[in-house]
Structure 1
Amino acid sequence: MPAVKALLLFIASLFIYLQPIKAEVITLASSQYYPYYAADLPQQGAVSELIRQAFLLQGVQIHIEFMPFARALRDSQQANYVGLIAAWYSDERAEHFYYSQPLYANYMVFFKRRAQPIHFTDYKDLVRQRLRLGLVQGYLPLQGLMQHQPAHINVATDEQAFKMLALGRVDLVPADKLNGQYLIAEKLPEYLGQLEAISPALELRPLYLLLSKKDPRAEALMQRFNNGLEELRRSGQYQQILQQLLPEAVQH
């Protein structure tokens, strides 16, 4: 009998040991930033998938809730969500968030109406030509842009900014080049051929995952995420995700 009891205890402990470990699940906030991340993109976009797979390598699952950027930033800062997919760097934000290693870099340009002759060499031209800008609320302004105080209108989304540009309510929209090209082709096809990117390029801006410093798990989670991201790069899976979900970026 003692041997039977010992065997049963061994089988029970083995059964418990073999049970799958339940992954930790965290919820992140996100805006819709085409073609990089959005609710209706395959796998919710390449940047979402990079973050998802990097965390999975560390035993963490993510759930993403999509909303306008200003709300996503505010609610993440308050730790209503663990963090934010994704954002650019600023010293002010770094007071409230841990920043990941860079995920991808945005190539920032101005978009204008093709029929409107605009010559841009520096931000002083915006004021001299009395040009109006469409800016997404919550986005960081381009370096040096707001020092010249150009006329501008704030909107909630990139799509709204491009629609206002097409309708002549603003004259320029600063945006990532792929973001603008995607929105015009896929979301606003009625304006295809009417809007274009202009030179020179304004900035190259890295995107990061942000985790709220108000969440006690955030610092350790960020370390795990960075480890997972590095593993993605070493294995080649990082490049595979870009090739599958963001082929335009690979060719860019």
Structure 2
Amino acid sequence: MVLFRTLASLMTLTSVSLDPAKAETWKIAAPEWPPYASATLAKNGKAIAALRNALAKAGIDLKVEFMPWTRAQTVAGSPDYTGYFPAWPEEVLDGFTASDPVAWSMVGIAQRSDTTIEWSTLEDLFLNYRVGFVKTYVYPSDMQRQIYRYYDPDDGAENEQDLARVLAAGRVDVALTDPIVMLHTAQDLSLDGIDETVTILQRHPLVLAFTKHGNYEDKLRLLNGLLSENSITETACCRTTQPTSEVQPSD
């Protein structure tokens, strides 16, 4: 059945050729979000590599332009772009449509190594501690509700780098983030004091937000067919605390 769906998807996009001389190129906008996406990483990061590998099965080249997150969402609306990636499903804006999961990220809590955090629910966490977040992100719904309840969205950090600095400086007690991204960012910025034992709340899919222009529906079907060959069922990860070395994002 998976093979049938994949072949059917390939046939719907008549403009795609497996002839290297006639290879199609998809151009996407991407944020700097290591280790999932970055111009400085091998293969441009784990998520970009997963998307590129999937498209290569259909002879499609991937061109990635890195830029700030909000700009990526804006410029990707141009007909020149296939869309933006990676994004959580909640971050797919009007005028775009989400692919199936291309890769997986983590959503959880990072904290300072000199801070003891005790909580049983997200509401407890927000009620009793200063929570840092990135204001341009759209978090999973249960987390986003608490942000709206306890903070003005503009209270958030500008980006992941600012969030790491705020946490390292002790201006917040915890940071709501992908802890893998937080630790990677802290290392890049040579920041001390952030605990490498992190709390994972759930695994969360990373999708390609397709720009609704031209033959985007054909492209969507094609990509989803390619992804179905290695599909992973989404699972929520119960609250668990682990050293970062034991928490690896799925490709």
1:207 equivalent in structure 2: 206
CA distance in 2, matches of 1:229, 1:28: 17
CA distance in 1, matches of 2:143, 2:51: 31
Give the number of the structure whose residues are more often helix, by fraction. 1
Gaps of 5+ in 2: 1-18, 232-245
Post-superposition Cα deviations, 1:181-206, rounded to whole Å, max 9, x if no partner, equal 3223x313341x5434544x323211
Q: Does 1:128 align with 2:127?
A: yes
CA distance in 1, matches of 2:185, 2:126: 27
CA distance in 1, matches of 2:143, 2:20: 53
CA contact (8 A) 1:109 1:197 kept: no
Q: Map 1:230-245 onto structure 2 (within 5 A).
A: 230-231=228-229, 233=230
TM-score by length of 1: 0.73
Aligned length, in residue pairs: 215
CA contact (8 A) 2:165 2:191 kept: no
CA distance in 1, matches of 2:142, 2:20: 53
Matched letter for residue 21 of structure 1: A
CA RMSD of aligned residues (A): 2.8
Pick one of 165, 168, 181 that aligns with 1:179. 181
Q: Which moved more, 1:156-165 or 1:70-79?
A: 70-79
Matched letter for residue 172 of structure 1: V
- The percentage of aligned residue pairs carrying the same residue is 25
Post-superposition Cα deviations, 1:140-161, rounded to whole Å, max 9, x if no partner, equal 1233234342236323321221
Shift of the alpha carbon at 1:207?
A: 0.9
CA distance in 2, matches of 1:190, 1:93: 31
Q: Map 1:1-252 onto structure 2 (within 5 A).
A: 21-77=21-77, 79=79, 81-90=81-90, 93=92, 95-129=94-128, 131-148=129-146, 149-151=149-151, 153-184=155-186, 186-191=187-192, 193-199=193-199, 201-213=200-212, 215-231=213-229, 233=230, 249=248
CA contact (8 A) 1:159 1:187 kept: no
Shift of the alpha carbon at 1:135?
A: 2.0
CA contact (8 A) 1:101 1:226 kept: yes
CA distance in 1, matches of 2:204, 2:247: 17
Shift of the alpha carbon at 1:249?
A: 2.5
CA contact (8 A) 1:165 1:172 kept: yes
Q: Which entry has the higher C-alpha Rg, 1 or 2?
A: 1
CA distance in 1, matches of 2:144, 2:99: 27
Helix, strand or coil at the partner of 1:145:
helix
Helix, strand or coil at the partner of 1:107:
strand
Shift of the alpha carbon at 1:168?
A: 1.8
CA distance in 2, matches of 1:124, 1:230: 37
